[in-house]
Amino acid sequence: EKVTLVVDGTRFAVNPQIFTAHPDTMLGRMFGPGREYNFTRPNEKGEYEIAEGISSAVFRTVLDYYKTGIINCPDGISIPDLRDTCDYLCINFDFNTIKCQDLSALLHELSNDGAHKQFDSYLEELILPIMVDSARKGERECHIVVLTDEDTVDWDEDHPPPMGEEYSQILYSSKLYRFFKYIENRDVAKAVLKERGLKNIRIGIEGYPTCKEKVKRRPGGRSEVIYNYVQRPFIQMSWEKEEGKSRHVDFQCVRSKSLTNLVTVGDDISEDHEVIMHHPPQVDELDRL
């Protein structure tokens, strides 16, 4: 007995037994042994309206998986759309399942999967310990510069770099340096950090001073140290909960002794001044004290 699936206004009459052979997929669960517990019910015509937002052309391509275990992606079907459909239907998207002419697009999707898993590992192994160390010091944000294993940092103690690099955390990792070399991997890393609840995420490439190159003597005997800069990845994130409130705070103006003395000595203080003293105004300031 066939069932009718309606996708993007197109009807597909299929034997539900092809779905039950793949119980880990969405359609396999819909038409499997637990069918009576399925939340998807047929409409008044007995048809199942599914896969909202998925085109009928992509769904027709995906149906091959239930028959052969392989999806042959024809020209005209975008790999990202096919990927979204496979994710929706809980079909494993890998090189054993997908066959297509556009290898670049396929490998791009597979690289995104690999980058996600790889960065999860880097986050737990390399980055999180630095963030925890910053948190234990009361910090609520972290700026990490990723150097290679071969990089060395040698600053002049009397003349450090003038750009605030002393507040950056240094992470020596050639493998993470290579990972961040690709802008696509940096985008994946941003998505992972956002999934983990972090905010104000910035990942990019910046110049970082490693060692002094030469010392210039300025008029008046002042010395200026010229540093050698290398282009290295950086990652910055915040876990501050009340970032808006941290920038603004109300505090009251208090009476000074001089004003109090004037009140006790002088008799010509107006009532308006009395109101100011007893009901001091509130002022917004940028920094919390």
- What is the rounded CA–CA span in Å between residue 108 and residue 186? 14
Could you tell me the residue ranges of all domains in the chain? 3-101, 115-241, 246-285
**230-265 confidence digits (pLDDT tens):** 999 999 999 998 766 665 555 555 555 554 444 444
Helix (H, G, I), strand (E, B) or coil at 73: strand
Topology of the domain covering 3-101? Potassium Channel Kv1.1; Chain A (3.30.710)
Q: What pLDDT was estimated at residue 283?
A: 42
Q: What pLDDT was estimated at residue 166?
A: 56
H-state helical runs in 201-256: 243-246
- What is the rounded CA–CA span in Å between residue 143 and residue 80? 33
Helices (H) and strands (E) in the chain, counts: 11, 11
Q: What pLDDT was estimated at residue 187?
A: 97
Residue-by-residue DSSP string for 24-55? TSHHHHHTSTTGGG-S----TTS-EE--TT--
H or E stretch including 205?
strand 199-217
What's the average pLDDT block by block, 10 residues per block, for the chain (289 residues)?
90 91 90 65 85 90 94 94 94 94 95 97 97 95 95 83 73 97 97 96 92 78 81 95 63 51 48 44 41
Q: What pLDDT was estimated at residue 31?
A: 84
